[in-house]
Amino acid sequence: PLSLVWLRRDLRLHDNAALYHAFKSGRPVLPVFIFDRLILDALDDRNDRRVEFLVQEINRLQDELAKLGSTIIVRYGKPVDVWKELISQYTIGDVFANHDYEVYAKERDKTIGDLLAEHAIGFHTSKDQVLFERDEVLTGKKTPYTVFTPYSRNWREKLTDFYLKAYPTETYFKQFWKTKSLPVPTLDEMGFEPVGESFPPRATPDSLIDSYKKTRDFPALPHSTSQLSIHLRFGTVSVRDLARQAKQVEDKTFLTELCWRDFYFQVLDHFPHVEKQSFRREYDQIEWRNNEAEFEKWCRGETGYPIVDAGMRQLNTIGWMHNRVRMITASFLCKHLLIDWRWGEAYFGKKLRDYDLSANNGGWQWAAGSGTDAAPYFRVFNPTLQAKRFDAKDVYIREWVPELDTPNYPKPIVEHTMARQRAIDTYRKALKKV
Ligand code: FAD
């Protein structure tokens, strides 16, 4: 019998926990990847960067495995149907996979685990995409943290070299099942079109991590941040490798960002209601204005607030937005326009090449004030001051809003002082109701 490794958001052979455990089973190993119809068919856009990235990375894996005399089974379908087929087609001893913390994924894994059990096939899962998960970092009262700073202190203390060791998968590569290459579905076969984009490189120089604290808030700088988010999202880099690198440099700001990533995963895992509702439920009493015409303008980057418009156009054009600008655009939607954070969250979810439910939800709930690390509701970002501080010479703004000084550029959609007061009044009214 074979040991199959079901790859999902861990698209690498290097330092992969599930793959390592599959090798340790002692049986021949074969990886599997499923293009999940339930997810892909629901995507609005037929030229979706994430799907293109996946196809590219699966082909890369296929090439790597071909060089090792092996292959990867790649299917397009509903996971449960694909697994039924695989069970009838192959003699499977055990299946290995890495943990996933989203509600949909947890239910999917439960269904597949049950199906495999019916056929006396073991389903073994491991931690891989985060440094700490589930109950590994808890408060003194053994409850999950709901505030970042104490969580990060505890997280940092626990992060010994033991947790950063790479799984030595390379040592076992000869154990891949020797077989001829199997086909990988094309974008076209799955109803998608290429965007034709090149994605950011996988490597991050130490120099970037070293200067990260100084550069990370300035979107105009070419290497302001690592742009690794798509790789962390799909596991084309190992978070352990990256954390090891980050731990070695003197300034630990970059390491703290990886901690934020873990933090939001554990929030989603422990408080799954955040996927649909405010973390602080009283925030669901806010009477959002939800003006559709204003939402459209925000989406297109036509609010008349240059930093907001630059960010939204960057998102629409390249599928990525600088973190500082994500904070400004998100805050603007929730507070200045009083549009439900879920609308913005869904729009980012469509467009971001690094879309990750946990970080996106965490970011949006932070901006709305409804989340774990809520700033007081009366603190409202001033987009003009933010731009002055972080893009003083309008370099970033002009890159995305070239018509800035022309009559074609729209007038502001709302006046800041009025919008700020309106947001405060609306929030106060909602929160008083509790
Ligand atoms: P770097 O600054 O180089 O950081 C390195 C890595 O650390 C990132 O790749 C990411 O994996 C992690 N990271 C950094 N900041 C955060 C954070 N605040 N929360 C969680 N992880 C973090 N990040 C996503 O990966 N996917 C999302 O869908 C997403 N949506 C967001 C929505 C909003 C409204 C906000 C405010 C933030 C969101 N973020 C999201 C977090 C952050 O903006 C991105 O991770 C970052 O901009 C990605 O660029 P980078 O790889 O250059 O980041």
Residue 197's pLDDT is 87
Residue 375's pLDDT is 75
The torsion region of residue 61 among left (phi > 0), alpha (psi -120 to 50) and beta comes to alpha
Residue 320 falls in the annotated catalytic set: no
Residue 360 falls in the annotated catalytic set: no
Instruction: Please give the CATH number for the structural domain made up of 130-165+205-270.
Output: 1.25.40.80
* Six-digit token string for 35: 């293009």
The string over 208-225, giving b where at least 16 C-beta atoms fall within 10 Å of a residue's C-beta and e elsewhere, is bbebbeeebbbbbeeebb
Residue 117: count of CB within 10 angstroms of its CB: 11
Q: Are 73 and 31 in contact (CB under 8 A)?
A: yes
Q: Are 163 and 240 in contact (CB under 8 A)?
A: yes
Distance (Å) from CA 42 to ligand 1 centroid: 24
Would the CB of 352 count as within 6 Å of ligand 1?
yes
Residue 160: count of CB within 10 angstroms of its CB: 9
Across the 434 residues of the chain, what is the mean pLDDT of every consecutive 10-residue run? 98 98 98 97 94 98 98 98 98 98 98 98 98 98 97 98 98 98 97 94 92 97 95 98 96 97 98 97 96 98 98 98 98 98 98 98 97 87 98 98 98 98 96 70
Residue 405's pLDDT is 96
Q: Are 347 and 396 in contact (CB under 8 A)?
A: no
**pTM exceeding the 0.90 threshold for the entire prediction:** yes
Residue 38: count of CB within 10 angstroms of its CB: 12
Q: Between 306-318 and 292-300, two packed helices, what is the crossing angle to 10 degrees?
A: 70
Would the CB of 232 count as within 6 Å of ligand 1?
yes
d(CA 111, CA 117): 10
Same fold for the pair 1-128 and 275-428: no
Q: Are 433 and 383 in contact (CB under 8 A)?
A: no
Q: Are 335 and 420 in contact (CB under 8 A)?
A: yes
Q: Are 33 and 74 in contact (CB under 8 A)?
A: yes
DSSP H/E element including 47: none
Q: Map tokens 């590994």 to a residue.
A: 136
What are the pLDDT digits (tens) for 203-254?
888 899 999 999 999 999 989 999 999 999 999 999 999 999 999 999 999 9
d(CA 246, CA 155): 14
What are the structural domain ranges in the chain?
1-128, 130-165+205-270, 275-428
Check: complex ipTM more than 0.90: yes
d(CA 373, CA 362): 9
Residue 388's pLDDT is 98
Atom 42 of ligand 1, residue of closest alpha carbon: 323
122-126 sheet: strands from edge to edge: 73-77, 29-36, 2-7, 92-98, 122-126
Q: Hey, what amino acid is at 192? A: F
Q: Please tell me the class of the 275-428 domain.
A: mainly alpha
What are the pLDDT digits (tens) for 9-65?
999 999 999 999 999 999 999 999 999 999 999 999 999 999 999 999 999 999 999
Q: Hey, what amino acid is at 241? A: D
* Six-digit token string for 142: 């053994």
What are the pLDDT digits (tens) for 360-369?
999 999 999 9
Of these residues, 260, 320, 366, 400, which one is catalytic? 260
DSSP H/E element including 126: strand 122-126
Q: Map tokens 């495999």 to a residue.
A: 116
Residue 376's pLDDT is 85
Residue 434's pLDDT is 46
Would the CB of 257 count as within 6 Å of ligand 1?
yes
CATH number among 1.10.3720.10, 3.40.50.620, 1.10.1660.10, 3.60.21.10, domain 1-128: 3.40.50.620
Would the CB of 372 count as within 6 Å of ligand 1?
no
d(CA 140, CA 312): 42
Q: Are 308 and 332 in contact (CB under 8 A)?
A: yes
